[in-house]
């Protein structure tokens, strides 16, 4: 049961980071802000790396 709770917590965290990064990319495009787009891309890449490297242990 503990593994399921930890998995759910990591999943929710990764999905939240992906949503935040995606929103930063879109809002950076609307405001013509390359810095915000870059931060959004880094957040999305970081969340993807965490999701792929996490083993659940």
Q: 40, 24 in Cβ contact below 8 A?
A: yes
Higher pLDDT, 15 or 6: 15
In the prediction, which pLDDT does 33 show? Answer: 79
Evaluate if residue 7 carries a pLDDT over 90: no
Evaluate if residue 57 carries a pLDDT over 70: no
**Distance of alpha carbon 47 from its chain centroid, rounded?**
4
In the prediction, which pLDDT does 56 show? Answer: 54
Other CB atoms closer than 10 Å to residue 48's CB: what's the count? 14
Q: Copy the structure tokens of residue 23.
A: 């929103």
Distance between CA 35 and CA 2 in Å, rounded?
39
The model's pLDDT over 13-45, given as tens digits with 9 standing for 90+, comes to 999 999 999 999 999 988 787 899 999 999 999
Reported pTM: 0.83
């Amino acid at each position: 049961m503990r593994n399921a709770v930890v998995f759910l917590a990591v999943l929710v965290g990764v999905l939240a980071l992906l949503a935040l990064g995606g929103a930063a990319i879109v809002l950076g495009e609307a405001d013509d802000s390359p810095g915000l787009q870059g931060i959004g891309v880094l957040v999305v890449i970081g969340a993807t790396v965490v999701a792929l490297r996490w083993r659940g242990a």
